[in-house]
Chain A
């Protein structure tokens, strides 16, 4: 494989010397070009290689920043694409649509704006691959409240993150979702493939194991309104809804007790399964899950086996927020059956 074939230097590079422009303009035909090593020493055409897939003319109209040489992608996936967002991305960054299920407290909404950006460092085509990326966003401290944010398919672009630490931005699936016309230099940056593969799969694997039958644990995250952090449960370690519910009870007892008021002090050890079920199924809380399509459903509508197959996340919601979920669950299970 000839690395040169992957280099298409039809983009003028903002950061290199002006003479580089003449090289890029030579590529009238686009595609593979001769590399001019002998002439213009300051502008090795090799360098202006990684942006491809767009004709020169298109590039000329994009801002200087967009033509700056990076190892990323042109168009929606290049840096500073927030300015191009509305033009290039079909999905708009509209925070309001992301929180249909949350209690509408202003503080929550405003703090969530930062959190939208979490885990959404990929462009829209990566978001189309959905959940692996979405899930990685939950790994922030404050993010437990917004699993549905990341899960919503329309979440694509993010505003340029303000204080989002770098560590969060490692999302995954770049290997699995080659965006259009991505021409990277082979073997660059010089990072061992082992490292690249491991970092790429770190976030992906953090949520669930491949759903191979009998392959062990199937962890899903469980969050709860009012709880400061989320938990994980292994769905394969239960055989029915009852077991799941009592496990959740144990995990979230402390929180429910807080909500229960007078039941709190002495009730901790004696909180029965039924009591939590009352809590869960009664007015106070419902147990919901997010399925493979990103929809939120009430737990309990489908057979257990089907449930663990489709469940991606669990959330213990306040009952008032879960109104309207039930009908969808029924329709969906009918569609699937």
Chain B
């Protein structure tokens, strides 16, 4: 390859998109490293504290797209204090000062401020795409700056963010000259929407393929929007609360019928069930359906709808669909690849038979042979069911099972679920992500360590008996990148057994386990390239050096490899050892 001029090699590298492959390429030799780094357009940073913006820009001066992830995954479940960190501002600031030609920014679990958004909007003339997932800290004023200043904006995708809605006119801030929008998703905004501004915006965006509105967009407005955007591929519906009169219903149906390109449907947070049939004509085209926020649609309506969706590949649904509903899915949706069943009753107050059980899971596995990703919240499970599922679907890449009650055993045999999960890891040789639940002993971790060779992410809660469990995993799963554990009896012995392992991993989270402060301190000493963070909201920052503390169990531990040492923006509830 040394005989080729750099431009040729660069051209070859251009066809390689995966960042992992490009990381590998850059390790081959110095010249490849140089060519690769100068031609890299997209950079993915899984932990924003593993590296700093200056080094990023130093290595990849031509980057156009940056993906950053901030808080650890368990922040989703309120286990990480708000002020923990993950601020995007320093990144935007550094990129702006270095005049990087940023075009796309994708953030997950980061803290974004209006100032950051304003700076972003003003600093990058060619900025095209902003995707924010589970972020917080900004308001619609920030969105207004993006709308107003990003002349070439194509994509504004806000997924499940906590946004302070100032009920302002941010939609009005898109200039009339803005006609390049391809994707607009503001479903998570809680306030009102200027419908007129939205309609004008949609009308002048002929390339708009994806539109997801918030619940403040009622039925008649939606009808008008769809009428001027029949090219839509992805639609997120707002609210449908009024029962439509026949005329409105007819108009809606007409508009829907014209959207022949529609493939993805979501939203429906407030729905009068009678409106759902308006979408029946396009069911057969749908490949993605997200009804997981449609709490008001009863199971039978869901079933009626889904049975027409023969081409469905992705389905996100609430457990109100029931086992019966899943059986219908299994017989109708033969192309299904990804299924997520969320709990509708989040407070365990229901004693209902309508939620899902192992019966539904088995039915899905039997009917949907192409299934490779599943997230399943259920009340109960059996080993037999899991073994059957493993036999039916050996192609799982992601298998996340959450039995709502911690430590619940096989409800028929009262045994632990070790064998069931063991069957899953043994059969699914390509498994990359696994979440376990129910009553589990160390044995399940032995199985995981033995069989889950491709496993990259493992989530454990209320499981295991001794340190040995965690050791099985650390020793066995060679490709493990993220390990998150809560409320399990793993302590210092497991934590400290193989310190080098953490260099191969992105991060480790342990909360309500048995690791002590002393153990964490020792780890921090032995591995200076790790940031070992102790999160403890109740205590002050000053850690007194007495023996009592060393034996104190650590409430929350989060450690991650980093090349830039201790971060400077940690709040007082976080101690970095």
Contacts and interface: CB of A to CB of B under 8 A. Distances in A.
A213 interface: no
Given A4-B512, A17-B409, A44-B406, 13 more contacts: A1-B538, A16-B407, A16-B409, A44-B407, A165-B354, A166-B319, A166-B350, A170-B344, A189-B343, A191-B77, A192-B160, A194-B160, A198-B269
A325 to B, nearest CB: 26
Contacts of A41: 441, 465
Given A72-B347, A169-B350, A216-B192, A190 B297 contact: no
Given A188-B461, A231-B243, A160 B351 contact: yes
The 4 closest A-B pairs by CB, nearest first: A71-B348, A47-B407, A166-B320, A79-B351
Contact of B514 (A1, A37, A47): A37
B237 to A, nearest CB: 14
A322 interface: no
Given A79-B350, A168-B296, A191-B346, A1 B537 contact: yes
B186 interface: no
A165 B325 CA distance: 11
Contact of B349 (A122, A188, A232): A122
Contact of A38 (B239, B489, B511, B538): B489
A50 interface: yes
A269 to B, nearest CB: 14
A244 to B, nearest CB: 16
Interface in A82-128: 121-123
A189 B377 contact: yes
Contacts of B243: 229-231
Interface string B321-341: 110000000000000000000
B411 A15 contact: yes
A167 B160 contact: no
B157 interface: no
Interface of A: 1-4, 15-17, 37-38, 41-44, 46-50, 69-73, 77-80, 121-123, 136, 139-141, 160-161, 164-170, 174, 184-196, 198-200, 202-203, 205-206, 215-216, 219, 229-232
B206 interface: no
B555 interface: yes
B419 interface: no
A122 B350 CA distance: 9
Contacts of B239: 206
Give the interface SS of chain B, mostly helix, strand, loop or mixed. Answer: loop
Nearest to A40: B465
Nearest to B293: A198
B245 to A, nearest CB: 8
A72 B109 CA distance: 29
Contacts of A141: 273
Contacts of A185: 406, 487
Nearest to A123: B349
Contacts of A187: 74, 77-79, 486
A30 B255 CA distance: 62
15 contacts: A15-B408, A37-B465, A43-B407, A71-B348, A121-B350, A167-B320, A167-B344, A169-B352, A174-B346, A190-B435, A191-B342, A194-B134, A194-B162, A200-B346, A216-B192
Contacts of B354: 164-166
B489 A174 contact: no
Given A71-B347, A121-B349, A165 B377 contact: no
B414 interface: yes
Contacts of A160: 351
Nearest to A217: B192
A215 B215 CA distance: 15
B409 A15 contact: yes
Nearest to A198: B293
A79 B355 CA distance: 14
Nearest to B294: A167
Contact of A174 (B274, B320, B322, B347): B347
B106 to A, nearest CB: 18
A167 B295 contact: yes
Nearest to A182: B347
Contact of A167 (B134, B297, B408): B297
Contacts of A47: 405-408, 439, 462
Contacts of B350: 72, 79, 121, 166, 169
A199 B77 contact: no
Interface in B123-160: 134, 160
B31 interface: no
B192 to A, nearest CB: 6
Nearest to A47: B407
B162 A69 contact: no
B462 A199 contact: no
Contacts of A194: 134, 160-162, 188
A192 B349 contact: no
Nearest to A161: B352
B179 interface: no
